[in-house]
Structure 1
Amino acid sequence: MDYAGFWKRAAAAIIDCIISVIGGAIIGIAFSILMVTNSNSNLETIQTWSNVIGIIIGWLYFTVMESSPLQGTLGKMTLGIKVTDLHGHRISFSRATARHFAKILSTLLFLVGYLMAAFTKKKQALHDMLASCLVVNR
């Protein structure tokens, strides 16, 4: 298999971050306007619900796209890479979910979990190892 390199993966992550921020902002603003105009909700309640919705949308974006026949997010597709299991097959929704939430651990370790992709034989980040996944060139 032709494993995707660290910098290619990093560039895809930046693209996905931009998409997530813009999409989240649009949805957050729309949700906030809806909450303010339809109820007497306070700012703290609106912020809490906006955060919950943001987490759900981020989870669905990564999980649905990576477990779909496309096998990658818009950032990954732009860079010509995809997520597979250890045998090169499409991953399941549950494996994509595990991979997504394992990124929390990769982040909490001062991003060392992500940097591992630059140094491991199969170019796997910590969350890839935990979910038994690979990121490969198309």
Structure 2
Amino acid sequence: MSETLNESATSLSPLEIKKVPEYHLKAAGFWTRFWAYLIDLVVISSFTALTIGPLFDLMGWDDARILYLSPYKFAAAILFYGYFVLMTKWRAQTLGKMVFGIKVVSDKGIPLTWGTILFREWIGRFISVKILILYIVAAFTPKHKAVHDYIADTAVVHEKSYEKVEKTIAIEQSAHTV
């Protein structure tokens, strides 16, 4: 039995352990994401005020902006969520993210799907908007991921900024190089 073990042990090729650099897109920090979101809110608020308000006035509809579930608020919510969904699907970034050079990517390394985006932007953002403290989670997580990023397996990263990560690999050497 020991002879068999020794024979198989001597037939193994030696392994060389190496550290190889890998470069990953750098995660966007909390403050970068915060300022990008504020720009998006200004864009959405301006667009809403310039389109929905005058439309309601022109049509003679009661905008009842005070009520929680008014037609005006419903139309504004459609614009709000539609903006984030469509911009993220078509460009992987909103106007605010474009200003700061950040974008949304899948954790799985695949293109963003409609399902991922709808889940991230509708469900995740709805939860985060209703419970504002959940946005702050991004300040304390290792890759600055917010709750809606965890829910949808996404991350927000810099477009052109990379971080170097050392990866340890084992390389099998052939018998003739030893």
Normalising by structure 2, what TM-score?
0.67
**Aligned length, in residue pairs:** 131
Q: Find the partner of 2:76 among 54, 63, 70.
A: 54
- Percent of paired sites with the same residue: 31
**Greater per-residue strand proportion:** 2
Q: Does 1:32 align with 2:53?
A: no
Q: Find the partner of 2:137 among 100, 112, 116.
A: 116
**Greater per-residue helix proportion:** 1
Deviation at 1:117, TM superposition (A): 0.8
Larger CA Rg, structure 1 vs 2? 2
Deviation at 1:43, TM superposition (A): 5.2
Q: Find the partner of 1:65 among 87, 92, 115.
A: 87
CA RMSD between the two structures: 1.9
Look up the equivalent residue of 1:126 and give its one-letter code.
V
Residue pair 1:83, 1:134 contacting (<8 A) in 2 also: yes
Find the counterpart in structure 2 of residue 8 from structure 1. Answer: 32
Q: Does 1:137 align with 2:158?
A: yes
Deviation at 1:61, TM superposition (A): 0.7
Higher relative contact order (CA 8 A, sep 6+): 2
Deviation at 1:88, TM superposition (A): 3.8
> Structure 1 regions of 5+ residues with no counterpart?
none
Between the aligned partners of 2:138 and 2:89, the Cα distance in structure 1 is: 21
Deviation at 1:119, TM superposition (A): 1.0
Find the counterpart in structure 1 of residue 101 from structure 2. Answer: 80
> Structure 2 regions of 5+ residues with no counterpart?
1-23, 160-178
Find the counterpart in structure 2 of residue 20 from structure 1. Answer: 44
Deviation at 1:28, TM superposition (A): 1.8
